[in-house]
Amino acid sequence: MNSTTRALRCCAAGVVGAVIGLGACQAPELAPTGSPAGPTSSAAPTASTTPTGTPSTAATPSTTTARLAELPRGGRTLFPHYRLVGYAGAPGSPALGRLGVGDLDDRIGELEKRAGAFASGRTPQPVLELLSTIVQETAGRDGRWRTRLSDKVIQEHLAAARRHKAILLLGIQPGRATFLDEVKAYEKWLQQPDVGLALDPEWAMQPGQVPMRVFGHTTGREINEVTAWVGSLVAHHQLPEKVVVVHELAPNIVRNEEVIKSRTGVALIKSVDGIGSRAMKEDTWHKLTTKLPQGMRVGFKLFFEEDGEFGPLMTPAQVLALKPTVDYVLYE
């Protein structure tokens, strides 16, 4: 079995488990955690009432009465000061990643320790990559083949992230929805200074396609639509730089990548997600990072279980030796 086929089957198994755990359209209910600490209110953000192509103009912060919001560990730009190190997953679904295993605060504490090994002259910045829009095996009422976590679950993960000065990324597997529509659905969360995005185009289906039967894909144009919208949101609300990750495991997952534009206020990261041995993963890395759009940063994903079937998990030293320099390390 080649690495691409294996990746699809591993991901499909995880999504099936998540759908069983979540139900067709119902997100899990978790016990409330403590009040979040950080630059914003502990209450859940108020939903936007503007479903248009541009972000809502409500609640604009005043530079004369309030200090501009910063990143969880200070400053308003991410690189080169920080190196992001994250856990991916969804609550109650270990198959989707380490973030969904056991107590959330325990996992973040574990992540904090792991992140220290990737410092190498930078400040480690923990990241929680919460799979928020999840593909499912059925079309659903709207025919989009995806479901979303509840606001309650997202709020609890944001509260936990703030207790540990971490960044929360909302992961999106869009099914037959568009990335931009899914991103807009999370506008009230993205108005927060410590919330970003992780796009997974492997699960972006075309008309007639069904998740877990074929690989999806996206285009540079669609990514530009998302980053333009996010950049506008950042500018309007005077937010610190916001992370947008694009996961990619093969060259055809993002087509016409050369047209991708750099946006002020957006830290765009390509995360290389191939499964396999060190040699296999490094081969995928070189294929996907040889020609990068201007301004695009790079990330590297490690799979505790799937990579482990091919041999020892790559060490922090081996990951840090990759060129170009890795800015985001994600564990699943």
Asked if pLDDT for residue 172 goes beyond 90, the answer is yes
Q: Is the pLDDT of residue 36 over 80?
A: no
pLDDT digits (tens, 9 = 90+) for 233-248: 999 999 999 999 999 9
What is the rounded radius of gyration, in angstroms, for the C-alpha atoms of the chain? 18
- Whether the pLDDT of residue 39 is over 60: the answer is no
Question: Would you list the domain boundaries of the chain?
Answer: 3-20+79-331
Closest listed residue to residue 253, CA positions, set 229, 285, 219, 221: 219
pTM of this structure: 0.83
Query: pLDDT tens digit string along 296-319?
Result: 999 999 999 999 999 999 999 999
Q: What's the whole-number mean pLDDT along residues 168-172?
A: 98
What value, to the nearest 5°, has the Cα angle with vertex 101 and ends 97 and 103?
Answer: 140
- Least confident range from 46-50, 63-67, 286-290: namely 46-50
When pLDDT is averaged across residues 56-79 and rounded to a whole number, the result is 75
How far, in Å, CA of 142 to CA of 132, rounded? 17
Q: What is the pLDDT of residue 41?
A: 36
Architecture of domain 3-20+79-331: Alpha-Beta Barrel (3.20)
On whether the CB atoms of residues 25 and 141 are closer than 8 A, the answer is: yes
30: which 2 tokens?
């978790």
Q: How does residue 55 score in pLDDT terms, banded at 50, 70 and 90?
A: low
| Confidence category of residue 262, pLDDT binned at 50, 70, 90 | very high
Confidence at residue 56, expressed as pLDDT on a 0 to 100 scale: 53
For 232, residues 6+ apart whose C-beta sits below 8 A from its C-beta are 54, 55
Residue of 181, 259, 250, 256 lying closest to 216 (CA atoms): 250
- pLDDT above 70 coverage of the chain, percent: 80
Instruction: For residue 84, give every residue at least 6 positions away whose Cβ sits within 8 Å of its Cβ, in sequence order, or none.
Output: 78, 125, 126, 127, 167, 243, 269, 299, 327, 328, 329
